[in-house]
């Protein structure tokens, strides 16, 4: 791997972290974003609605196939449906 490729990887990681650091969920109870099966997602989704990085969060979850929790305002089931519609 060249030096430039390594820098690109590091820069990508830095960009990834910057949206995560700005996320409202980072300042909120994480348990709200990972409710027990059948538990309410209302509180987490409310936080997501006001978050400036909601789109980045959802994109991350879709690209990394996150299977648990609320990401970008959507539950795992909602993300699965969104992916199916996109295909």
Quote the DSSP letter at residue 35: P
Nearest to 39 by CA among 78, 13, 75: 75
Residue numbers in the known binding site are 25, 48, 51, 57
User: Rounded CA gap, 54 and 22, in Å?
Assistant: 10
Can you say which residues are annotated as belonging to the binding site for [4Fe-4S] cluster?
A: 25, 48, 51, 57
């Amino acid at each position: 791997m060249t030096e430039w490729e390594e820098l690109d990887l590091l820069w990508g990681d830095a960009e990834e972290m910057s949206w995560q650091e700005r996320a409202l969920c980072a300042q909120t109870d994480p348990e709200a974003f990972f409710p027990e099966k059948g538990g309410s997602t209302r509180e987490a989704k409310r936080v997501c609605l006001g978050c400036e990085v909601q789109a980045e969060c959802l994109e991350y979850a879709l690209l990394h196939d996150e299977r648990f929790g609320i990401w970008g305002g959507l539950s795992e089931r909602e993300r699965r449906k969104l992916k199916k519609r996109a295909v």
